[in-house]
Amino acid sequence: MNVVSAQEWEAARAALLVREKAHTRARDALAAERRRMPWLLVEKDYAFDGPSGRVSLLELFEGRRQLVVYRAFFEPGVHGWPDHACTGCSLMADQVADVVHLHARDTTFAYASRAPQPDIARLKARMGWTMPWFTLTDDFDADFGVDEWHGTNVFLRDGDRVFRTYFVNARGDEALGSTWSYLDLTPLGRQEDWEDSPEGVVQTPAYAWWNWHDAY
Amino acid sequence: MTEPRIDDRATWPAERDALLVREKAHTRAGGGIAAARRRLPMVEIDPAAAVVGPPGRGLEAMAPRHGLIARTDGRPTAQWSRLASGVGA
């Protein structure tokens, strides 16, 4: 153990802080690059089962502009079934911020798994998870790189047209959970006026859009 | 917003993979910073420092774990305003 005086510790911490701040700026720059990624038109119709029946990919947006879908493994044959979802996917679910903050930025968040809706409803109630969670019914998982492994897909809606704009998995998923982490994956970003975004993205001052989760 | 580039299925993965290389480098850089953080020196503090709240009083609240993460929330003061105005700088 290298125990030092408070003064020496502050100096060591300040030196590392310089690297940490540079790392944060580099992260912002990557998010800016993602906002300039090309879009991929989704040409197939996809269907999901939800608490109120069958819905399309377009309907998953709930009228909002952006959609983030995390593919969680909860189905027969996956460790933990039927009492639990996959351990890693469950740990991820424990990190997900209240989705109302994403809604405030015109962004919808959802989980998707192969398990039927009654199993998903039971799992959510027991584990205390509240995010929308849909059942996959078709090739969505194979087509969007999440048939073998968890992953997060980002979509943008332009009228009735849907575009895939980004995808992360592996340790890319590990960094997710906060409202900001999800918005940083999206083509519109946090929509705050300090961001380097494509021309035409409507932005508001940083922090000004935040509210209490029961007050939006 | 201005009309973005719309790719086809053949080219989009290549664009995404190019950015992924940079994202992975950033993740590794974050791992490097965490490694440096684990090697920071330590400063000894008074274990009797008063911290009130469940499950007890003082830093013994952290027992029997080896580490403690404490977050201090401040009031939105003039300092907060300066921080907000410096965002993204």
Q: Give yes or no for residue B49 having a pLDDT over 80.
A: no
- Report pLDDT digits (tens) over A101-114: 999 999 999 999 99
In the stretch 55-84 of chain A, residues with CB closer than 8 A to chain B read: none
SS (H, E, C) chain B: CCCCCEECCCCHHHHHHHHHHHHHHHHHHHHHHHHHHHCCCEECCCCCCCCEECCEECHHHHCCCCCCCCCCCCCCCHHHHHHHHCCCC
Higher pLDDT, B7 or A201: A201
Q: Which CATH class is domain A35-183?
A: alpha beta
**pLDDT category of residue B83 using cuts at 50, 70 and 90:** very low
pLDDT in the model for residue B1 = 59
Higher pLDDT, B76 or B23: B23
Distance from CA of A5 to the nearest CA of B (A): 6
Alpha-carbon gap, residue A183 to A101, rounded angstroms: 10
pTM for this structure?
0.91
What is the mean predicted confidence (pLDDT) over B42-47? 84
A157-192 per-residue burial string, b: 16 or more CB within 10 A, e: under 16: beeeebbbbbbbbeebbebbbebbbbbbbbbbbbbb
| B42:A27 CB<8 A | no
| B2:A200 CB<8 A | yes
Q: In angstroms, how far is the first alpha carbon of chain A from the final one?
A: 48
**Alpha-carbon distance values, B62 to A25, A63, A80, B5, B65 (Å):** 34, 46, 32, 53, 6
B37 touches chain A (CB under 8 A): yes
| A194:B88 CB<8 A | yes
Q: Write down the ipTM of this complex.
A: 0.91
pLDDT in the model for residue B60 = 64
CA B13, distance to chain mean position in Å, is 30
Higher pLDDT, B55 or A152: A152
**Alpha-carbon distance values, A211 to A94, A159, A194 (Å):** 22, 28, 19
Q: Give yes or no for residue B6 having a pLDDT over 70.
A: yes
pLDDT in the model for residue B53 = 65
Q: Give yes or no for residue B88 having a pLDDT over 50.
A: no
Mean of all residue pLDDT scores within chain B: 76
Residues of chain A with pLDDT under 70: none
- Nearest chain A alpha carbon to B20: A168
- Nearest chain B alpha carbon to A28: B88
Alpha-carbon gap, residue A32 to A14, rounded angstroms: 27
**pLDDT category of residue B61 using cuts at 50, 70 and 90:** low
Higher pLDDT, B48 or A82: A82
pLDDT in the model for residue B66 = 78
Select from A13, A33, A40, A44 the residue whose CB has the most chain B CBs within 10 Å, as the one to mutate to test that interface. A40
Taking the domains of chain A in order of start, what are their residue ranges? 35-183
CA A122, distance to chain mean position in Å, is 23
